[in-house]
Amino acid sequence: MFKPFRQQIKPWNPAIKFGANRRGGMLVLIVSAIIILLIAAAIGIDVAYMHVVRAELRTATDAAARAGVEALGRTQDVNAARQAAMNFAGQNTVAGVPLQLRASDIEIGSTVGGNNSKFSFQLNGTPPTAMRVTGRRTANSLSGPVALFFGPMFGQTDFQPIQLATAARLDIDIALVLDVSGSMSSQNRFPGLVNAVGVFIQELENTPQEERCSMSVYSTDAEKAIPMTTNLQSINQRLSQLSPDGFTAIGRGMQVGLTSFSDPQARPFALRAMIVMTDGHHNTGVHPANVVNSARQQNVTVHTITFSAGANQQAMRQVANSGGGTHIHANNNAQLSEAFREIARQLNVLLIE
């Protein structure tokens, strides 16, 4: 007997098809997300690199302006100042390449303002006391543009930062704060200090600006030995008459030194700097770290010099950092003289842009 053919048809299961689609869709999303993350990472690396390079360019340009204007005041020679700026720029790398400057990147002038207003640069102003340096990593600069790591993937092969820095030498009032504690009587340190201060004064007298200076000394207590004066030689003469004795009250010395900026011969619109020298550790009276804040509130830049292996370099370096100044350490009398010379050369240098 004939039996009709019956085809076995399985019922339709939509879950099978939809499940396969979901798995395929998720794979596409994952791949897309990975690509986006890689692109973001690549962009992030280049952006971070650009920030680093800009910081390097700023540092190199600032250093060139400082060195150039220091040479301008020291040599009184515009060409020598330009060369000093170019030499110092070349000692700093930007994106792994020394920063090269053209003479046209260095402008000489003077400053205007300062009496309750912001200093500004005046190109070709006289007397020449300021320098403006333009640091470039551009296509037409000597150092060339900065290549990017992943920029070519997006059609950007490099970036071309430019940085300006202007430094000036200005009149300054200085408060010397010197250690005459008992430890200064050992190993011929005190005569070394007298000689170093003489070197400092000689450097100041070689500049075209008029510096005024006071001298405060400290041991267990502190006193102002010479108020703010234009007679710089009187400082060295008075120091040579003193004798080391007592403990080391650095903070008290700084407090007395700060009063110098209210002396009759102190100038309200001059730059203010304090130079604190010690051969030991603070061991009595107010701590210098507590006084440096008062100095900054009075717009006084605090530089520190430590002398001998027994000096507390770490503490005095922190005082200088907090005071916006420089710390230099000297192990012997020759290095102490060089430290005072270096500070003297930096005092009249100010970045105004």
Instruction: Tally Cβ neighbours within 10 Å of residue 256.
Output: 21
Quick one: average pLDDT of 253-282? 93
Strand partners, 271: 172
The pLDDT-based confidence of 170 (bands split at 50, 70, 90) is confident
Looking at CATH, the fold of the domain delimited by 172-351 is given as: Rossmann fold (3.40.50)
DSSP sequence for 55-109? HHHHHHHHHHHHHHHHHHHHH--HHHHHHHHHHHHHTSEETTEE----GGGEEEE
Question: Do the Cβ atoms of 333 and 188 come closer than 8 Å?
Answer: yes
pLDDT higher than 80, residue 254:
yes
Sheet holding 349-351, edge to edge: 120-123, 106-112, 130-136, 162-169, 349-351
Residue 147 has pLDDT above 80, yes or no: yes
Are the C-beta atoms of residues 99 and 93 closer than 8 Å to each other? Answer: yes
Question: What are 320-331's pLDDT values in tens digits?
Answer: 999 999 899 999
Asked whether residue 249 carries a pLDDT value surpassing 90, the answer given is yes
Distances (CA, A) of 62 to 43, 57, 80, 266: 29, 8, 18, 29
If one compares 125 and 13, the residue with the highest pLDDT of the two is: 125
Q: Residue 17: pLDDT above 70?
A: no
Token look-up 């040479």 returns 71
pLDDT surpasses 80 at 79: yes
How many Å apart are CA 204 and CA 314, to the nearest integer?
A: 28
**How many whole angstroms separate alpha carbon 180 and alpha carbon 188?**
13
Average pLDDT over residues 224-242: 97
Cβ neighbours of residue 199 closer than 8 Å, sequence gap 6 or more: 337, 340, 341, 344
Q: What angle do CA 46, 52, 56 make, to 5 degrees?
A: 140
Question: How many beta carbons lie within 10 A of that of residue 78, not counting itself?
Answer: 15
Q: Rounded CA gap, 63 and 285, in Å?
A: 38
Q: Look up residue 90 and give its two tokens.
A: 């070349």
Judge whether residue 287 has pLDDT over 80. yes
pLDDT of 353: 66
Q: Is the pLDDT of residue 41 over 80?
A: no
Give the three-class secondary structure for 190.
Answer: helix
Which of the four pLDDT bands, split at 50, 70 and 90, describes residue 10?
Answer: low
pLDDT above 70 covers a percentage of the chain that reads 87
pLDDT at site 61:
96
Q: What is the pLDDT of residue 115?
A: 46
Strands 162-169 and 158-159: unpaired
What is the reported pLDDT for 262? Answer: 96
Q: Summarize pLDDT for 289-316 with one digit per residue, the tens.
A: 999 999 999 989 999 999 999 999 999 9
Domain ranges of the chain: 34-169, 172-351
Pairing of strands 300-307, 324-330: parallel
In the three-class reduction of DSSP (H, G, I as helix; E, B as strand; rest coil), residue 345 is classed as: helix
**Whole-number Å distance between alpha carbons of 349 and 221:** 33
Contact 180, 190 (CB under 8 A): yes
